[in-house]
Each structure stands twice: as C-alpha cells, then as structure tokens.
Structure 1
Amino acid sequence: MTIGVMLVDDQPFLRLGLRMVLEPEPGIEIVGEAEDGSSAVPMSAALKPDVVLMDVRMQKMDGITATEKILAERPETKVLILTTFDLDEYVFAGLRAGASGFLLKDAPPDVLLTAISTVATGDAVLAPSVTRRLLERFGSVMPGAQGAQRREEVLAALTDREREVFLLLAAGRSNQEIAAQLYLSEGTVKVHVGHILAKLGLRDRVQAVVLAYEAGVVVPGSHELG
C-alpha cells in the first residue's frame, strides 16, 4: 500500500526537508505541496491524499481552517498537524477540527514516518507527554453547562469496563498500556475502543481524548473521572 502525502507549510525549506525524509521511503509518495491553507483545500480535493502534513500558522488561511474545510469535503483524508511549540493553543483547535494528531516539527524522522503510517491506517497519533499538558492547560476554559449534560450522556452510553478504557484513552495510553493496566488482552482492548468510538460517534482516539475533557469526564490535571 502506498500512502499519498501532501505537504502544507509556508516555509519552502521545511517542505524541502520533509521531502528529503519522505521521498526515499518505500510506500510513501508525495502527491503535492501547498504554501498556505487557501491553496491546500482545493489541492486536497483534487489530489485526494491519504495524509496531509499541516502547518498551523500560515498566511491567507491558517491550518485549522484548512483542516476543517479539507475534512468537510473528504472525511477519509487524515490530517497530521505539525507545530513548532508543544503548548500551541492552535493545536487544540486543530484536534477539535478533526485532525488525527499532531507532532512537533523537530520530531525525528522515524517518529514522523511512524505517525504517517499510524494515521493512514485510521488510528490517531497521541504524544502523551505533549497531549496531556496541552489538554490540561486548555481543558479548564471549556464551557461547563453543556459539558455537564454531555458528561452524563457519555457515561450513560458506556459500560463500566468501557468507562475504564475511556479514562485511560483520555490519559493518552496505548492499547498495550491499557491492556497491561486492566489485565486484558490487546485484542479485547481494541474491541472496547471500537465500541467506545462507535457509541460516542467519534472518528478516532484523538476525538475521544478531546471529548473526555470537553464533557468533564476527566478533570483537567487529574486524569480522574469528574
């Protein structure tokens, strides 16, 4: 399987660096590159990439708006946000917009390659050390009134075991880590995760994390049920 990748960044040297890393890799094809969000949206619609590597801060149209528009036109495209700062408030907005995860721009090549493969297969990229800090910082400013109602809806939809798995998902745990903590097989955890996403109408693990904080299922800074 060849993964079609589109590069979106306003820095030509960064796009060149990404090309140098990705082009030699078997199974990855650079299908196009755009210098801002406004050109990325129609380009994505025309080229139909599997994965878009999306910068956040760009002229004409930022990466968040571009992510929303790209996924509105073609939901099967996966967007992986690239950011310079691990506490960039735009990253959280990107996750809410439907991005499948984010990476720092200085991530090692092997991490970038793994991330592209991961999101291409429909999973999400969660860098726990960064994601937790980001969500803990901005979780406290989310609306509370609707969140309380949503929390009850979320919890009512899940079984006791699914709530346990959901809590660990919100903490950025992998299937392997969840399995070890709950004394389950990885296959069983994968089934639970699938049920959770289906019941809550979520696309991937990133959306599960965002929902957990938005709805107050997890208290920012604690990773315990609110």
Structure 2
Amino acid sequence: MIKVMIADDQELIRQSLQIVLSTHEDLKVVDAVENGFAVLESIKKERPDVILMDIRMPEMDGVYCTKTVKEKYPDIKIIILTTFDDDEFVFSALKYGASGYLLKGVSMDELYHAICTVYNGGAMINPDIATKVFKLFSKMSMSNYAIQVDDSLSKDLTQAELKVIQQVGFGLSNKEIAQKLYLSEGTVRNYVSIVLSKLELRDRTQLAIWAVQTGVTMQEFGDDND
C-alpha cells in the first residue's frame, strides 16, 4: 500500500485528487493539506511514501517545503503537481530533490503511474516540459550545483551503461529508454541502479546533471553494447 499525501491550497483540487486516487486499491490518501507548514506537521503522524506537492501555496510554498522535507525525510518521494511550468520552479524543485514534476493537466492514469514510478525509485517528468528540464540540467551543470564524481569511478562504465546514462541526461523515462535502445524496462532499471552505485550518486536527477556536465549527452555511440 502506497501512502499518499496531497498538498494544495485549493480545496476543490484536494478533494478531487483524493476521490480519484482512492479508487486505486494499492493507494491510500493519508492526508490532504493546504500549505507547507501543514505538510510538515502531518508528516510527523502520517509518514507518507509520496507527496503530491503544489508549488504556489500560502505561508510556505512547495519549493521550500520540498527542500525541508527532503532534508528531514530523504526517503519520502515528492511529485511537484502544478499549473506552472516556470523555469525557476522546475529548477528549484529538482535541485531540492523532487522525483517528479507534472502539470495539473496530466491524466489521472498518468498521475497514478507517476506515483508508482517514484515510489519504486524512478523519476517522472511531464513530456511537455522534458525539453525545458534538459535545458535546465545544462544550466545546472555550469553552475555551482554541478555534480562531482571522482574520475576513477567513471572509468569502468561500459558503453551500454553510457548509452543509458545519455538517455537519462535527455530526461527520458525508463520506458522511453527501453523503447529507444531496444531493451526491456527491467534491464534499463538495472542499468540505472548499477550506474548510480558505480558513480556513488544519490538519484536519477544527479545522474542526469552529471551526464550533461561531462558531455555524455553529446557523445556518439556505435551499435556495440559492450
């Protein structure tokens, strides 16, 4: 059972999401709150697995709340769910550890899939802003948010692993990578897990930033999967 918390300042949206998500037997909405302060208070009691976080909320917005939650409860996954696709919001939410960024126009099936994906350690970014996110990774790679990896850790990466890393850098999901590289989704998931371990990186977002800043996204690979 995946425990979900909803954080949105609009009561109608909170109620609607709660009704729709409650139709899934493997999800349980443990609370629906109106701002970041309420999120932090509710977490102490409910300890959700995934939080659907609005950006613009009174008293404490979703970006700052994401930062605070990830600092105190790093295992809790956060999906930013908002009507805004402003660069600054995307940049900040991903920088502070959000696992997903979806616009509120997303279908309920896509939202359910996103919740399951981040719960299982994946990342989910709305296709409408995937290109924007890739550009943001480029910005981040040139800023003081650059990801540091010891050169010795990357020497043993295989070409197959580098191909997967490249696609992660482009902002693609495991499913999209699997289709593009003619692999199973499970194989891609294993590659990502192995690569994160090899490079000693925390999550997929850090891997994507590293891929951009090191130029992996610009490399050309042959057909050899070694």
- TM-score tier by shorter-chain length is 0.7 to 0.9
Report the CA distance between 1:207 and its aligned residue: 3.5
Matched, 1:193 2:192: yes
Contact map agreement 2:137 2:209 (CA 8 A) in 1: no
Per the alignment, residue 57 of structure 2 pairs with 58
- Residues 107 and 160 (structure 1), Cα distance of their counterparts in 2 relative to 1, 3 Å cut: same
Q: Which amino acid is the alignment partner of residue 106 of structure 1? A: G
Where does structure 1 lack aligned partners over 5 or more consecutive residues? none
Show structure 2 runs of 5+ residues with no match: 221-226
What is the aligned partner in structure 2 of residue 224 from structure 1?
218
Q: Could you say which residue in structure 2 is the equivalent of 1:115?
A: 114
Residue 16, structure 1, aligned to residue 15, structure 2 = yes
CA distance in 1: counterparts of 2:81 and 2:89, whole angstroms: 11
Contact 1:148 1:216 in 2 (8 A): no
Q: Secondary structure at the match of 1:53?
A: strand
Is the 2:50–2:77 contact (alpha carbons within 8 Å) kept by the matching residues of 1?
A: yes
3-state SS of paired residue (2:109): helix
Residue equivalent to 1:27: 26
The whole-number CA distance in structure 1 between the counterparts of 2:153 and 2:138 is: 17
Residues of 2 paired with 1:27 and 1:150: CA distance?
38
1:152-201 Cα deviation digits (max 9, x unpaired): 67754633332221001111333344345445454443322111111233
Distance of 1:28 and 1:196 partners within structure 2: 30
Note the 1:53-202 alignment, pairs <5 A. 53-136=52-135, 139-140=138-139, 143=142, 147=146, 155-156=154-155, 158-202=157-201
RMSD across aligned C-alpha pairs, in angstroms?
A: 2.8
Instruction: Look up the SS of the partner of 1:86 in the other structure.
Output: coil
Contact 1:175-1:189 within 8 A present in 2 as well:
yes
Which deviations, in whole Å up to 9, do the C-alpha atoms of 1:39-91 show, x marking residues without a partner? 21232132100110001112221211111211222221110111212344212
TM-aligned CA deviation for residue 97 of structure 1: 0.8
Question: Measured at CA, do residues 154 and 81 of structure 1 come closer, stay the same or move farther in structure 2, by a change above 3 Å?
Answer: farther
CA distance in 1 between counterparts of 2:145 and 2:93 reads 21
More off after superposition, 83-92 vs 137-146 = 137-146
Whether the 8 Å contact between 1:71 and 1:77 is mirrored in structure 2 is yes
Q: CA deviation at 1:18?
A: 0.9
CA distance in 2, matches of 1:141, 1:99: 15
Q: TM-score, normalised by structure 1?
A: 0.82
CA distance in 2, matches of 1:6, 1:33: 6
Q: Distance in 2 between matches of 1:171 and 1:14?
A: 31
